[in-house]
Each structure stands twice: as structure tokens, then as C-alpha cells.
Structure 1
């Protein structure tokens, strides 16, 4: 990505752990300054920043709730105030709760939709003036395999992640004249750390799927794909939905 002599700046939402953390480290390893966003997990986000700084990179924590217009705008304002620009936006923040459809109430539906789909829209909208100013910006949305393969107990998550695909294609069309690429990376069956609390345990649909490669993917393998889409080498790619799932779903 051509940004002259200035260092690129990336905002990665939901970057305190797992795939988001790996993306932040991947981009930092390529010389990008990274704004590590989390909604409330300051200590974990600060740990990611420490890893980046220990390797010689630049990063900062910015806590913000991207599901609200105020939170998304505050995140982008803070990034520009601190580092002067935004070149890359990775919309990774998500909730992956499981609940049967008959027990899925409006509050649960809206909470998941707000973080995944509304959050991507709000962050892209707030970052847009800065991505335009960068001259060769990139947005990468992180999708979900179940939005393509289907699954029970995840109507809210699937609907939101499927919406990200549509948003990706729409923004690719709208933002191409500004030199901004927009793509979607869809991880599947990735070996991530999850707690034991409700909503963070291993997804039930994982038990019914296997990969052609006979193993789970690693967050770093997803991050490498995101890093490519954020690089100069991917400037001819936009509007694409790219799967990284070891052959668990052939889309």
C-alpha cells in the first residue's frame, strides 16, 4: 500500500485475543502501527500492545464499544489523534453466542447484530474520510463459516455474518473510486481459546464438521490472509469473500 514515507496505521476491532490478536501482530510485523481495540478487556488488549512493542512495533489500546455510533466514532477519532491517519480497518469484533431460535429474544438478536453488522458499518463510516485521505485504504471484514454452511442455534450470528458479505460487496462498489479495497475473510474451525461461560464455549456445530486437512486452523493462518489483503500485493482484489477453513466448507 502506497502511503509514501509515512507508516501505515490500522484499526483492528476485537483485537484483544484469538484471531483479532493474531491480525494485530501480523500487521505490526509488516511495519504497520496498530490500534488494538476491545470493548472492555483492557488488560488483554494491553498485552497485545506489549507484544507488538517488544518486537519493535508501535501500537496503542483504544477501548470502545463499536456497536454504537458514539463508540465507533470515538475509536476512529482516537486513532487519528494519536497516530495522524487511518489506512486499514479490520472489522473483527463479534459475539458468537448459541441459543435455539425459539429462545432467541429481541434483546439477544439485537446485541449480536449490533456488534457484528452494525459495528462494521459504523466503523467503516467513521473511518471513511481517513481511508479516503490515505489514498489506498483497505477494509477487511471477518466473516463466519456458519453463515455459508448453516448451523442450528446461531440464527442471530449467521444473519449478522451473512450481512457482512453483502456489506463487503456493496462497499467494494461504493468505495472503489476512492481507491479503497473491501474484502471479507471467512475463518472456519479455527483453534481459538474460549472460556467456559455461556456463549464462549466451543460452538456445538464444530462437533459435526471436519476439515479435509485433518486439523484445526490457527489464528495466525487467518491473520496471514488478512495481512495479504492489506498489502500492496492485493490492490487488484476487492469485493471478494475468501474462506480459510481447511476444506471444512467448499464455497
Structure 2
């Protein structure tokens, strides 16, 4: 059955904040949320031209958007970014913690600086942004939605990515903690774990460490991953919280 225009506007009146929205899943998620009627605040650490291009696409859909630059791993930046997002449109209803960097370093060559660079963005960043946005959501009396983007290697392990595996596994724990602590405020938290997603990868992504054959016989697309993120933000998903959802073509079956 084809969705009607009204059904696609099911996030009308909602404001979403998407971190790391300049490319790939973050970009596709921001566009998907806008397509469903949300106004979207998008963030990036340094990719100004790319994030501005995403903003232009959102504006072309007839939705409001704002660009907020900053580092999610920096506490002052995270506080400012959440404040600017609220200031832009008066509220925050949805947070998608997508910002991440992934590098490959053998465990025995990994310094504490290497470890903290990755865990800082992935895990500390998700904590800081969640904490600041929850301060806003808990004053609105209308509930809210947080979707954290996990990683397949946080469940399977991988060579040369101890920092990434640990950080992404930590995202699952953070998701469960938020889901339990804020359930009585009508706030849900879920984790979306993409499998092997095709398309151009950024310099901080590195090559995919997953060598297992995908049962569906192909890599996923950023739009397929983003569609599931958006689904977790829709009103129809309000009874789902604390869950980890895998979008991997059958590559990982928990």
C-alpha cells in the first residue's frame, strides 16, 4: 500500500537533531526525517560545505533546518550545540546520535590517545548529546525519541578495532540505561546497528573489517539504514524502547 501525503507527514511539528549529518547514514537520516515532516537541526564537526549542502536539500523539501557546527566529544560544544538546536525551533523531539569516527590500529600498537579519540566521539559524544538533549526533552511533557547508531563490530569483534568495538558495545548499554531511566517521561531510546553499508566512505571510516558473506548477497544502502532509523522515530514506534535493531542483510543474527 502506498503511503499517503498525510502519513508521510507523521513527524509534522517535531524537531529532530542529527549529529554527524554531513554524509552517508547521517545525511540520509536527516533527509528522511524531513521527508516525514520534521524540521531538522544538523551537525558536523568540520565538513561545512557538505553540511550546508544537506541543509539546502532539506530546505528544498519545504522543511526548516539549521546547521550547528561543533565537536560532540567536547563537553562545552555539546552543551552549546543542544542549546542552539533548541533555540533554532524552540524544542527538540528527536535525537539521532550518529557522529562517529573509525580507525584501524593493531591492539598492541594502540596508544591511549588512539583509544580516547575513538571512544570520545562515539561513546562520550553520544552520552554528552543525550544528556543535554534530555535536559530539554524532560521539560516539554511530550516525550521524545533517541536513536543511537551502533556498530556491527560491537557485537562481532574485529581485528585492529578494539576502540571501535568497545565504544559501539558501550552504545548498547547507554541505550538501555536511557530507556529505563526516562521511560516514565515518555522518552524512548533504541539502537540501530547497520551492517555492511555500501557507497563512498570517509577517510575516518577505514575499510570494512567484516569479511563474512552477507546472506542477502549484497551490501546495504545508506537509505535502507536511514529508513529504519526514521521508523524508530515515528509515532507508531512509541511502544518500542531499549532495543537493538540490526539492519545487516542477515549478516548478524542475534
Question: Are residue 159 (structure 1) and residue 166 (structure 2) matched?
Answer: yes
Match for residue 124 of structure 1?
130
Q: How far apart are the structure 2 equivalents of 1:161 and 1:247? A: 19
TM-score scaled to structure 1, two decimals? 0.94
SS at match of 1:62: strand
Question: Are residue 216 (structure 1) and residue 216 (structure 2) matched?
Answer: no
Which one of the candidate residues 176, 180, 188 is aligned to 2:187? 180
Q: How far apart are the structure 1 equivalents of 2:232 and 2:196? A: 21
Deviation at 1:6, TM superposition (A): 7.3
Which one of the candidate residues 226, 246, 249 is aligned to 1:246? 249
SS at match of 2:214: coil
CA contact (8 A) 1:87 1:134 kept: no
Deviation at 1:56, TM superposition (A): 1.7
SS at match of 2:182: helix
> Which consecutive segments of 4 or more residues in structure 1 shift more than 6 A?
none
Match for residue 114 of structure 1?
120
SS at match of 1:189: coil
Match for residue 201 of structure 1?
206
Unaligned 5+ runs, structure 2: 1-10
Name the stretch that deviates more: 35-44 or 50-59.
50-59
Q: How far apart are the structure 1 equivalents of 2:201 and 2:175? A: 27
Offset from partner CA, 1:212-248 (integer Å, 9 cap, x none)? 1101101111111111111100000000000000011
Offset from partner CA, 1:8-44 (integer Å, 9 cap, x none)? 1111000100000000000000110111100111110
Deviation at 1:99, TM superposition (A): 0.8
Pairs aligned (count):
244
Deviation at 1:200, TM superposition (A): 3.4
TM-score scaled to structure 2, two decimals? 0.93
Q: How far apart are the structure 1 equivalents of 2:70 and 2:141? A: 23
Deviation at 1:134, TM superposition (A): 5.1
CA contact (8 A) 1:19 1:192 kept: no
Q: How far apart are the structure 2 equivalents of 1:77 and 1:37? A: 13
Offset from partner CA, 1:70-121 (integer Å, 9 cap, x none)? 1111111101111110000000000111110011100010011110000011
Question: Are residue 20 (structure 1) and residue 23 (structure 2) matched?
Answer: no
